[in-house]
Amino acid sequence: MKLTLPRRVYDAMLAASRAAAPLEACGLLGGVDGVVEQFYELRNTDAAAEHYNMAPDEQFAVVKEMRAKRLRMVAIWHSHPVTPARMSEEDLRMAYTPDVVYVIVSLADPQAPDIKGFTVEDGTPMPAGIEIS
Protein backbone atom coordinates (compact mmCIF):
# COMPACT_ATOMS: atom_id res chain seq x y z
CA MET A 1 0.00 0.00 0.00
CA LYS A 2 1.20 3.47 -0.87
CA LEU A 3 0.19 6.92 0.31
CA THR A 4 0.44 10.15 -1.64
CA LEU A 5 0.68 13.21 0.57
CA PRO A 6 0.26 16.71 -0.83
CA ARG A 7 3.00 19.00 0.45
CA ARG A 8 0.44 21.15 2.33
CA VAL A 9 -0.75 18.08 4.30
CA TYR A 10 2.82 17.08 5.10
CA ASP A 11 3.55 20.64 6.27
CA ALA A 12 0.39 20.73 8.41
CA MET A 13 1.26 17.40 10.02
CA LEU A 14 4.79 18.52 10.75
CA ALA A 15 3.61 21.85 12.20
CA ALA A 16 1.04 20.07 14.42
CA SER A 17 3.70 17.60 15.59
CA ARG A 18 6.11 20.40 16.48
CA ALA A 19 3.39 22.40 18.24
CA ALA A 20 2.36 19.40 20.39
CA ALA A 21 5.92 18.39 21.37
CA PRO A 22 6.98 17.15 23.89
CA LEU A 23 3.57 15.45 23.74
CA GLU A 24 2.40 13.30 20.84
CA ALA A 25 0.09 14.79 18.24
CA CYS A 26 -2.39 12.58 16.40
CA GLY A 27 -5.11 12.65 13.80
CA LEU A 28 -6.61 11.26 10.64
CA LEU A 29 -6.08 11.73 6.91
CA GLY A 30 -8.96 11.57 4.48
CA GLY A 31 -8.56 10.77 0.82
CA VAL A 32 -9.39 8.63 -2.17
CA ASP A 33 -7.42 5.62 -3.39
CA GLY A 34 -4.42 6.35 -1.19
CA VAL A 35 -4.23 10.00 -2.25
CA VAL A 36 -4.64 12.22 0.79
CA GLU A 37 -6.84 15.27 0.41
CA GLN A 38 -7.77 16.31 3.91
CA PHE A 39 -5.72 16.72 7.08
CA TYR A 40 -7.27 16.45 10.53
CA GLU A 41 -5.59 16.90 13.88
CA LEU A 42 -7.41 15.40 16.85
CA ARG A 43 -6.94 15.97 20.53
CA ASN A 44 -4.65 13.41 22.17
CA THR A 45 -6.69 12.61 25.28
CA ASP A 46 -3.69 10.76 26.74
CA ALA A 47 -1.70 14.02 26.64
CA ALA A 48 1.39 11.84 26.77
CA ALA A 49 4.86 11.81 25.23
CA GLU A 50 4.82 8.10 24.34
CA HIS A 51 1.29 7.21 23.41
CA TYR A 52 -1.90 8.70 22.09
CA ASN A 53 -5.62 8.25 22.10
CA MET A 54 -7.78 10.25 19.71
CA ALA A 55 -10.68 12.02 21.40
CA PRO A 56 -13.68 9.80 20.51
CA ASP A 57 -16.12 12.70 20.02
CA GLU A 58 -13.72 14.45 17.62
CA GLN A 59 -13.04 11.18 15.82
CA PHE A 60 -16.76 10.64 15.35
CA ALA A 61 -17.22 14.16 13.95
CA VAL A 62 -14.27 13.81 11.56
CA VAL A 63 -15.43 10.43 10.24
CA LYS A 64 -18.85 11.96 9.64
CA GLU A 65 -17.31 14.91 7.80
CA MET A 66 -15.17 12.61 5.65
CA ARG A 67 -18.23 10.62 4.73
CA ALA A 68 -20.04 13.84 3.71
CA LYS A 69 -17.07 14.78 1.53
CA ARG A 70 -16.96 11.27 0.06
CA LEU A 71 -13.49 10.69 1.46
CA ARG A 72 -12.22 7.54 3.09
CA MET A 73 -10.06 7.41 6.18
CA VAL A 74 -6.82 6.45 4.42
CA ALA A 75 -4.39 7.03 7.28
CA ILE A 76 -4.04 7.45 11.02
CA TRP A 77 -1.08 9.63 11.93
CA HIS A 78 0.75 10.50 15.11
CA SER A 79 4.06 11.98 16.13
CA HIS A 80 7.03 10.58 18.00
CA PRO A 81 8.59 13.62 19.70
CA VAL A 82 11.86 11.89 20.62
CA THR A 83 11.81 8.35 19.23
CA PRO A 84 12.34 7.10 15.66
CA ALA A 85 9.52 6.66 13.12
CA ARG A 86 8.82 3.05 14.07
CA MET A 87 5.66 1.39 15.34
CA SER A 88 6.04 0.97 19.10
CA GLU A 89 4.65 -2.04 20.99
CA GLU A 90 1.78 0.16 22.11
CA ASP A 91 1.20 1.40 18.54
CA LEU A 92 0.97 -2.19 17.30
CA ARG A 93 -1.38 -3.17 20.10
CA MET A 94 -3.68 -0.27 19.21
CA ALA A 95 -3.50 -0.81 15.44
CA TYR A 96 -6.88 -2.46 15.05
CA THR A 97 -8.24 -0.40 12.13
CA PRO A 98 -8.05 -2.38 8.88
CA ASP A 99 -7.08 -0.93 5.49
CA VAL A 100 -5.35 2.20 6.74
CA VAL A 101 -1.77 3.36 6.66
CA TYR A 102 -0.31 4.24 10.04
CA VAL A 103 1.84 7.32 9.58
CA ILE A 104 4.47 8.31 12.12
CA VAL A 105 6.25 11.66 12.14
CA SER A 106 9.47 11.49 14.12
CA LEU A 107 11.06 14.63 15.52
CA ALA A 108 13.97 12.67 17.03
CA ASP A 109 16.27 14.80 14.88
CA PRO A 110 14.63 18.24 15.00
CA GLN A 111 16.59 19.38 11.93
CA ALA A 112 15.55 16.37 9.86
CA PRO A 113 12.05 15.12 10.67
CA ASP A 114 11.37 11.60 9.48
CA ILE A 115 8.02 10.35 8.22
CA LYS A 116 7.17 6.71 7.64
CA GLY A 117 4.06 4.72 6.86
CA PHE A 118 3.08 1.21 7.89
CA THR A 119 0.28 -1.21 7.39
CA VAL A 120 -0.28 -3.72 10.17
CA GLU A 121 -1.28 -7.30 9.61
CA ASP A 122 -1.62 -9.72 12.50
CA GLY A 123 0.37 -7.36 14.69
CA THR A 124 3.24 -7.14 12.21
CA PRO A 125 4.15 -3.77 10.69
CA MET A 126 4.87 -3.67 6.95
CA PRO A 127 6.42 -0.58 5.36
CA ALA A 128 4.06 1.50 3.22
CA GLY A 129 5.57 3.98 0.83
CA ILE A 130 4.85 7.67 1.30
CA GLU A 131 5.22 10.02 -1.63
CA ILE A 132 5.08 13.77 -1.04
CA SER A 133 3.63 15.51 -4.06
Measured from the CB of residue 113, what is the shortest distance to Zn ion in angstroms? 15
CA dist list (Å): 44 to 74, 99, 128, 132: 19, 22, 24, 25
Considering beta carbons, is residue 24 or 71 the nearer one to Zn ion?
24
For Zn ion, the closer CB: 35 or 55: 55
119 lies in the site for Zn ion, by CB under 5 A: no
Helix, strand and coil content of the chain, in percent to the nearest 5, comes to 25, 40, 35
Query: Closest-CB residue for Zn ion?
Result: 91
For Zn ion, give the closer residue by CB, 71 or 102. Answer: 102
**Closest distance between Zn ion and the C-beta of residue 80, in Å?**
5
Chosen residue from 55, 88, 114, 119 binding Zn ion by CB under 5 A = 88
Cβ burial 2-26 (10 Å sphere, 16+ → b, else e):
ebbbbeebbebbbebbeebbebbbb
Binding site for Zn ion (CB under 5 A): 88, 91
